[in-house]
Amino acid sequence: MAKNLYLLGNTGSGKTELIRRTHETLGGRLAIRAVYYQPQSIFDLERLRAAGIPAVMNNGNLQVPTEPSPDDLRELVFYELSGRTGYSLPKSHDDILRVFVFSVTEGDEKPLKYPRLFKEVELVVLNKIDLLPFTDFSVSRFQNRLRTVNPGVPLLKLSCRSGVGLDNWRNWVLRLFGYHDVEKSQILPSSQFIRG
């Protein structure tokens, strides 16, 4: 089966970096490719290709397969949708999962300010937690605010820079494909990096 992940989020939140890190951390367990929607620049496309990820630009309407793919095709397809591109996209079938990539530099008040962005998604990734000591972002305040707009959505805290929390992200991805032999990586648990 193929799983289609829509990566939504503001420019700079870390979507391209997350795709690169996913490729690295999966170590070939799934085929990966990326479709990139940001016609102004091919810079990120080249970053993806440099990491060995087949990536194409799409300037037209978003097209995702409507039919389920064969079971033996274990493919993860990222759709990187910057800014507003993705917010009105429907989740037209079960193999589409919308992931909102948010970073600590964007401020912990954002769920209250832009509730819609946090509402219609299957997962929220809080990226750049390595920068927490340099900001006044409070993870617990963010969590509480996120809960008021989307009570059930899972939240993964990670850093594409340090690698903290990427094991949880990798396991979330692998579980989509029915893998249960998920492992812990050698890095420190993210809680050691998080201030309240």
Binding residues (CB under 6 A) for ligand GDP: these are: 9, 11-17, 44, 82, 127-128, 130-131, 159-161
Q: Give pairs for 56-63: CB < 8 Å, separation 24+.
A: 62/37, 62/89
By beta-carbon proximity to ligand GDP, the closer residue of 4 and 127 is: 127
By beta-carbon proximity to Mg ion, the closer residue of 18 and 166 is: 18
Please tell me whether residue 47 adopts helix, strand or coil conformation: helix
* Binding residues among 42-101 for Mg ion as defined by CB under 5 A: 44
Shortest Å distance, C-beta 15 to ligand GDP: 4
Shortest Å distance, C-beta 16 to Mg ion: 3
HEC-encoded secondary structure of 11-54: CCCCHHHHHHHHHHHHCCCCEEEEEEECCCCCHHHHHHHHCCCC
Shortest Å distance, C-beta 73 to ligand GDP: 26
By beta-carbon proximity to Mg ion, the closer residue of 15 and 21 is: 15
Beta strands in 117-170 (DSSP E): 123-127, 155-157
Please tell me whether residue 123 adopts helix, strand or coil conformation: strand
168 binds Mg ion (CB under 5 A): no
Spatial distance between the Cα atoms of 7 and 19, rounded to a whole number of angstroms: 9
Select the binding partner of residue 159 from Mg ion, ligand GDP, none (C-beta < 5 to 8 A, by kind). ligand GDP
- The contact mask relative to Mg ion for 136-165 (x = CB under 5 A, - = no) is ------------------------------
Q: Identify the H or E element spanning 32.
A: strand 31-37
* Contact set with Mg ion (CB under 5 A): 15-16, 44
